[in-house]
Amino acid sequence: AVYIAIGIKPNGHKEVIDYCIAPSENIEVWTELLQNMKSSGLKQVELFLSDGVVGMKTALMQTYPKAHFQRCLVHVMRNICAKVRVEDREAIMNEFKQVHQQSNKQEGITVLHSFYSKWQKAYQHAIQNVKDIEADLLVFYNYPKQIRSSIYSTNMIESFNNVV
């Protein structure tokens, strides 16, 4: 696995902050990478965006306690789709996509809760998994509208990985 931490400066410039290569992805390597970033001089992180690596939020809070944490909505959607019937996937994906397409956080919350209500009965376990991480799903709404599309998913990092 190639671990890559990409930073976006206030002027919008993106750069690789750090990277490492390890046999597989795990929280121990991510924790070490975060600690290396801090010891190399990265004093503070405003927002950290990640997929569903177990323990990532805890590792981040230990290293950068003031950082906000956003779960990648695309990964969340993929996880939901893996737990539902094939015939429901398109409808669920289309409805979940509405969560990040609202004009403000309150509208996002309303759409998310409507999503829960509609699918709770058929997919109780999948919906509970989303409810468990709800606090980390809509953090991107706290940022200016112009950058939200860059910070609700890890697509930027995945695009960078494809180039590499």
pLDDT digit string (tens) for the chain, length 164 residues: 888 999 888 777 888 999 999 998 899 999 999 999 999 999 999 999 998 899 999 999 999 999 999 999 999 999 999 999 999 999 999 999 999 999 999 999 999 999 999 999 999 999 999 999 999 999 999 999 988 988 998 877 777 777 77
Whether 68 and 143 share a structural domain:
yes
Contact between residue 108 and residue 100 where contact means Cβ atoms under 8 Å apart: yes
Whether 98 and 126 share a structural domain:
yes
Given this model, what pLDDT does residue 112 score? Answer: 98
Whether 68 and 33 share a structural domain:
yes
Beta bridge partners of 79: none
Whether 23 and 101 share a structural domain:
no
Given this model, what pLDDT does residue 91 score? Answer: 97
Contact between residue 159 and residue 120 where contact means Cβ atoms under 8 Å apart: no
Whether 57 and 67 share a structural domain:
yes
- For residue 15, the enclosing domain spans 2-72+139-163
CA atoms within 13 A on the CB side of 132: 9
CA atoms within 13 A on the CB side of 3: 21
Whether 113 and 147 share a structural domain:
no
Whether 61 and 77 share a structural domain:
no
Given this model, what pLDDT does residue 99 score? Answer: 96
Given this model, what pLDDT does residue 157 score? Answer: 77
* DSSP 8-state secondary structure symbol assigned to residue 82: T
Given this model, what pLDDT does residue 149 score? Answer: 87
Report the number of distinct structural domains present in the chain. 2
Whether 126 and 144 share a structural domain:
no
Whether 14 and 66 share a structural domain:
yes
Given this model, what pLDDT does residue 129 score? Answer: 96
Given this model, what pLDDT does residue 160 score? Answer: 75
Whether 156 and 106 share a structural domain:
no
The rounded distance, in Å, linking the Cα atoms of 57 and 40 is 21
Whether 10 and 55 share a structural domain:
yes
Q: Where are the beta strands (DSSP E) in 58-140?
A: 68-71
Whether 116 and 155 share a structural domain:
no
Given this model, what pLDDT does residue 146 score? Answer: 85
